[in-house]
């Protein structure tokens, strides 16, 4: 399976969302083996779900908490996401890790909680430039993927996003992507057995329609987690078409 997800991060307003969703409803044509999704800010999740209707584009939250309910001001429960019709949730994005201190221990609980509520978890991994240049890239990625030892097999997408390529305009070379995705694919099989071979591995980091047609042909690249380019519905739909 290939999957393209537009991560809007903390961008867009209602007026922008109206046009974006209208474009998806009018132009998105689903094809077997390829899925498309949008991860809007949480305040707009229900609005996006309603506006997309039955067009086939899925809706993902950008984060959620692992507790079922309780006194956790500002957090959102997996059950609440499911209640408004979400299909999945991004977990462990580098911005959550590096800005907000999200830990691997928390991610174990989040992946389990997402699965318990029939939400597709998208586990994000990626190294910083210092970690890559310091020769620690594979060590970092192995540690981030190690949460799967505790979650076990189940519904899952992995998104590899080198931190140094997010929003910088700098894209990993085809050879760099090939090397890392081959490593991740082997780690998934080591951790999850044969089930690991079925896990889609997205690439993210300054993805655009200009470079994605080449990236999507790299072995073990099963889609994209896209930031800036996916704020434009025409570019988002173009990326989906390239994956199809």
Give the Cα separation of 9 and 6 in Å (integer): 9
**Sign of torsion over alpha carbons 173, 107, 101, 90:** positive
User: Between vectors from CA 87 to CA 185 and to CA 227, what angle results, nearest 5°?
Assistant: 65
Give the Cα separation of 27 and 56 in Å (integer): 11
Strands (E), the chain: 2-7, 34-39, 58-61, 88-91, 120-125, 157-160, 201-203, 223-226
- The question of whether 220 is a catalytic residue gets the answer no
161, 181, 187, 220: which one is catalytic?
Answer: 161
93, 131, 181, 187: which one is catalytic?
Answer: 93
- The question of whether 117 is a catalytic residue gets the answer no
Structure tokens at 187: 């780690």
Q: Which residues are catalytic, by number?
A: 93, 161
């Amino acid at each position: 399976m290939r999957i393209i997800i537009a991560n809007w991060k903390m961008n867009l307003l209602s007026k922008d969302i109206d046009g974006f969703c209208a474009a998806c409803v009018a132009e998105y044509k689903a094809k077997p083996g390829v899925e498309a999704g949008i991860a809007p800010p949480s305040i707009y999740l229900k609005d996006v779900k309603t506006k997309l209707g039955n067009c086939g584009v899925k809706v993902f939250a950008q984060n959620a908490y692992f507790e079922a309910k309780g006194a956790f001001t500002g957090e959102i429960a997996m059950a609440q996401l499911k209640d408004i019709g979400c299909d999945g949730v991004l977990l462990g994005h580098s911005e959550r890790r590096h800005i907000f201190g999200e830990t691997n221990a928390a991610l174990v609980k989040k992946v389990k909680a997402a699965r318990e509520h029939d939400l597709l978890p998208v586990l994000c991994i990626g190294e910083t430039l210092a970690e890559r240049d310091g020769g620690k890239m594979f060590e970092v990625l192995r540690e981030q993927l190690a949460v799967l030892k505790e979650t076990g097999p189940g519904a899952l997408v992995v998104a590899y996003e080198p931190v140094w390529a997010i929003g910088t305009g700098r894209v990993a070379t085809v050879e760099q992507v090939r090397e890392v995705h081959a490593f991740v694919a082997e780690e998934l099989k080591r951790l999850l057995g044969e089930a690991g071979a079925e896990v889609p591995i997205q690439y993210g980091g300054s993805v655009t329609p200009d470079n994605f047609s080449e990236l999507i042909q790299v072995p073990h690249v099963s889609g994209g987690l896209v930031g800036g380019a996916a704020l434009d519905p025409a570019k988002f739909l173009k990326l989906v078409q390239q994956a199809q």
